[in-house]
Amino acid sequence: MKTYKVAIIGVGKIVEDQHLPVIAKNPRFQLAAVASQRGIEVTGAPTFRTPAEMYQAVPDIDAVAVCTPPQVRYSYAREALDAGKHVLLEKPSTTTVGELLDLRDHAAAGKRVLFTTWHSQYNAAVEAARRALAGQAVTYLQINWKEDVRRWHPGQKWIWLAGGFGVFDPGINALSIVTHILPDPVFIRRADLTFPENCDAPIAARIEFAAARPFEHLGADFDWRQTGEQTWEIEIGTAAGNRLKLAKGGSRLDIDGQLVAEEPMAEYEAIYDRFATLLDDGASLVDEAPLRLVADAFLIGKRITTDPFYD
């Protein structure tokens, strides 16, 4: 089986915590180079300030993982496709749905693989929930995704800029699970978005969803101000009377109070295994559904102002 030479564009916390160690232990990939505007070096691979310099110096790169802040992800992905590289996009894939659809079409035209990596979908419990809900009518949904931004994003100013997503940076993880496991789509009916008075991205959001079928309650609460124990839970009820609960970020599933699936998180291991298969098959995987829900929340959202945020 072919070993693919992969390069990383943008070196931050998620790259150091996930991409680098996962690539290092996956025999299907070899880290060929890194592009870092800040000049961050990675052991065992040459570092370049720009992707253009990297492509010129290491022309046999097969694929790139674009892990920059989302505001510049589109331009780097488009440049990579133009250079003939396959592209893995860290989440959120782009800042707008239009950008993502353009990348999808551009990759197809150039016969390149484009892969949107919604990492929370790659849990065994999430897949078990999808199977359990197949053919069911969902009447109840409540997402509670609450964490401490100072713990998970210390000093990351880009998240508070326009296009930085704010609390939707983790919230889109929950939405990616919901769009993956529900048998029918949900839509944004109302969104209350709470912005610190000195930021251009929300620190909290309360959402009401709607659906084509009759439902009892469909909602979500996202909050970046929760200290202590962190909450990443999704509760779902069906017309047949079943109750499902995904907890621990989607790594544990209980149905009607009984544990069904719980495994240690290995999301990025599964992502790179999937990427290898997509590269083998020459097939793209582009899922815009989570991004579309976030875009719709901003489109119809009510802006609420709260105290300023200082990291």
Q: Which residues are catalytic?
A: 91
Residue type, 95: T
Q: Which residue has the tokens 């999430």?
A: 126
Between β-strands 252-255 and 243-247, what pairing exists: parallel, antiparallel or unpaired?
A: antiparallel
Evaluated on CA atoms 95, 97, 102, 105, the torsion sign reads positive
Distance CA 192, CA 241 (A): 30
Cis peptide bond prior to 308, omega within 30° of 0: no
Q: What is the token pair recorded at 204?
A: 């909290």
Which helix (H) or strand (E) covers residue 150, if one does? helix 149-152
Q: Centre a 10 Å sphere on the Cβ of residue 188 and count the other Cβ atoms it contains.
A: 20
46: β partners: none
Q: Tell which residue, 147, 287, 144, 293, has the closest CA to residue 217.
A: 144
CA distances (Å), origin 46, targets 35, 66, 258, 270: 8, 16, 50, 26
DSSP 3-state of 68: coil
Between β-strands 187-196 and 302-306, what pairing exists: parallel, antiparallel or unpaired?
A: parallel
Between β-strands 29-35 and 86-89, what pairing exists: parallel, antiparallel or unpaired?
A: unpaired
Which helix (H) or strand (E) covers residue 273, if one does? helix 267-281
Q: Which residue has the tokens 């065994």?
A: 124
The answer to whether 204 touches 223, Cβ cutoff 8 Å, is yes
CA distances (Å), origin 309, targets 23, 49, 69, 163, 196: 36, 32, 20, 17, 6
